[in-house]
Amino acid sequence: MKNAKQTTQCGPISALLADFIHAASWEQIPGPIRHEIKRSVLNYFAVALAGCSDPTLDKAVRTYARFSSGPAAALIGRGERMDMLNAAAINAMGANVYDYDDTHIPTIIHPTAPVASALFALSQTQPVAGKDFMLAFLLGVEAQCRIGLAISPFHYDKGWHITSTCGVFGSAMAVGKTRRLTPARLRWALGSAACQAGGLVESLGTMSKSVSVGNAARNGMLAALLAEDDFDGPARPLEGAHGFLRVFGDAPDFDAVTRELGKEWEIGKVAYKPYPCGVVLNPVLDACLALSARIGMRRLEAIASIELTSHPLLRQRTDRPNVRTGRESQVSAQHAVPVALLRGAAGLEAFSDEAVNDPALRALGPLVRFHDDETYSIDSAKVVLRFHDQPPEQEFVRVARGSLERPLTDAELETKLRDLCRYGRSGCDAGRLIGAVWDMEDGKDMGRLAELAAAPA
């Protein structure tokens, strides 16, 4: 008996997506969406400048540099230069290494790192005007998020790292738009991108996660450049009988790729993180920081239990006791809760190796208890502190800071960039970079914008 999922009929999804990307023009893009593109790029530089000096980047740069064909493109926050393919990979790694980047809430894709890294690398090898860059970026984000919607939530739950597997389509379509590929060549690029999709949730908390994120930028760019040189591919790379959606999804929602295409923009469903950790921890950290501010240290030392009531995803994604590294602590409630309560902070220093090894924080971790409640959204949580000999204290957060309902303001994103630039110690002029991002719509050469983010000589 044939597999029903493989015989399900659907429309020419790959062709429709390619036709849309080929025909899309800047004039079609609403003003609020244009502004959101700039916010995404601002957040991109913030998180990439924070991660530029992480040991993951140091080791990757040493290895990738051995195979670089030339110094065509800058590395964000660093002095080295590489060819555009390897620069795209390294910069995508840096933007995602701390899990501080943007999040497409419906899919949990971090869309900007693969797309912006590929476009900025390309823009240093050919002139790309600001509006052309912004349009290509928007279309790349749109492609990867819509493909992700078609296979969610099965895809991530199965263990695929969705930023990596879908990000490769985003970078392919963005570069393809910039290189003015025909619809047929855009379909070929989708095919070559699909053949290079990969990344596992199992790698979270380790350096190997960065490999697939880097590949999403690098391999997507490569897919578009191959297609430009008449490197062909399947006619139906997404919806074919053995195409990406059927192989990587379970009963995929094919229509999600093209439904309201050009009318509803997925970048409008992207949020920016106030904390460098899994997005489901945001309301918990808001609550813990509020509790820390109003409860003295003496009371905190008398805690008997810490109860977290939230959407079941919180437990599924962050029930990770006994973490060993700062990287692992970014997806651990047993670390995030104690560090926010005892230190009253939840920045990058709170999720460092030093913080993980703090005995006081490790002592509180086992006191965390999860209570699943499907009536809660992923942006809400209640934290109850129970004490040995005192009345309990609690804090309820209906909407987390940094969520779609309560987004970071432009000023908060600017502050994030300045703070993370200092953290990464690149010496980059944050103020000048911020100004250039807000002015990018009228920019003549996005390659110059990329150079502003490199470490000064």
Which residue did the predictor score with more confidence, 6 or 342? 342
Total Cβ atoms within 10 A of residue 375: 7
- The domains of the chain are located at 4-272+410-452, 279-397
Residue 317's pLDDT band, with cuts at 50, 70 and 90, is confident
| 110-153: pLDDT as tens digits | 999 999 999 999 999 999 999 999 999 999 999 999 999 999 99
Query: Rounded to 5 degrees, what angle do the CA atoms 388, 391, 395 make?
Result: 110
Residue 101's pLDDT band, with cuts at 50, 70 and 90, is very high
Question: Tokens representing 260?
Answer: 């309201």
Residue 335's pLDDT band, with cuts at 50, 70 and 90, is very high
Contact 98, 268 (CB under 8 A): no
| 255-276: pLDDT as tens digits | 999 999 999 999 999 999 999 9
Of 82-96, 210-224, 322-336, least confident by mean pLDDT is: 322-336
Spatial distance between the Cα atoms of 210 and 21, rounded to a whole number of angstroms: 28
Position 259 scores a pLDDT of: 96
Position 389 scores a pLDDT of: 85
Contacts of 355 (CB under 8 A, 6+ apart): 326, 329, 335, 339, 343, 349, 361
Report the C-alpha dihedral over residues 413, 80, 94, 88, rounded to 10 degrees. 100
Q: What are phi and psi of 230, to 5 degrees?
A: 65, 30
Nearest partner of 183 among 193, 171, 173, judged by Cα: 173
Question: Tokens representing 284?
Answer: 């918990």
| Average of per-residue pLDDT values in the chain | 95
Percent of the chain with pLDDT over 90: 91
Contact 333, 284 (CB under 8 A): yes
Q: Indicate whether 6 pLDDT > 50.
A: no
Contacts of 454 (CB under 8 A, 6+ apart): 74, 75, 76, 77, 78, 79, 428
Position 8 scores a pLDDT of: 63
Position 457 scores a pLDDT of: 76
Spatial distance between the Cα atoms of 377 and 380, rounded to a whole number of angstroms: 5
- What DSSP string describes 115-165? HHHHHHHHHTTS---HHHHHHHHHHHHHHHHHHHHHHTTHHHHHTB-HHHH
Burial of residue 1, with CB atoms counted within 10 A of its CB: 0-12 exposed, 13-18 middle, 19 or more buried: exposed
* 3-state SS class at 348: helix
From 3.30.230.70, 3.30.460.10, 3.40.50.10490, 3.30.1330.120, which CATH number describes the 279-397 domain?
A: 3.30.1330.120
Nearest partner of 220 among 90, 138, 118, judged by Cα: 118
Architecture of domain 4-272+410-452: Orthogonal Bundle (1.10)
Position 16 scores a pLDDT of: 98
Mean pLDDT, range 316-324, rounded to an integer: 92
Question: Tokens representing 59?
Answer: 């080791």
| 394-410: pLDDT as tens digits | 999 999 999 999 999 99
Spatial distance between the Cα atoms of 48 and 117, rounded to a whole number of angstroms: 10
Spatial distance between the Cα atoms of 329 and 174, rounded to a whole number of angstroms: 33
Long-range (24+ apart) CB contacts under 8 A made by 427-432 are: 427/455, 427/456, 428/49, 428/77, 428/452, 428/453, 428/454, 428/455, 428/456, 429/456, 430/49
Question: Tokens representing 369?
Answer: 């208890």
Burial of residue 354, with CB atoms counted within 10 A of its CB: 0-12 exposed, 13-18 middle, 19 or more buried: exposed
Mean pLDDT, range 202-227, rounded to an integer: 95
Position 300 scores a pLDDT of: 81
Contact 162, 107 (CB under 8 A): yes
Residue 2's pLDDT band, with cuts at 50, 70 and 90, is very low
Position 411 scores a pLDDT of: 98
| 67-84: pLDDT as tens digits | 999 999 999 999 999 999
Residue 239's pLDDT band, with cuts at 50, 70 and 90, is very high
Alpha-helical segments (H) within 249-311: 282-294, 297-300
Report the C-alpha dihedral over residues 171, 73, 446, 187, rounded to 10 degrees. -20
Contacts of 66 (CB under 8 A, 6+ apart): none
Residue 4's pLDDT band, with cuts at 50, 70 and 90, is very low
Alpha-helical segments (H) within 204-352: 208-228, 244-248, 282-294, 297-300, 312-318, 326-329, 333-343
DSSP-derived pairing of the beta strands 368-372 and 303-310: parallel
Q: Which residues pair with 370 in a beta bridge?
A: 308
Position 7 scores a pLDDT of: 47
| 361-420: pLDDT as tens digits | 999 999 999 999 999 999 999 999 999 888 999 999 999 999 999 999 999 999 999 999
- The conformation of residue 198, written as its DSSP 8-state character, comes to -
Position 251 scores a pLDDT of: 93
Nearest partner of 320 among 300, 336, 309, judged by Cα: 336
Taken in order 218, 219, 221, 225, is the CA torsion positive or negative? Answer: positive
Mean pLDDT, range 31-51, rounded to an integer: 98
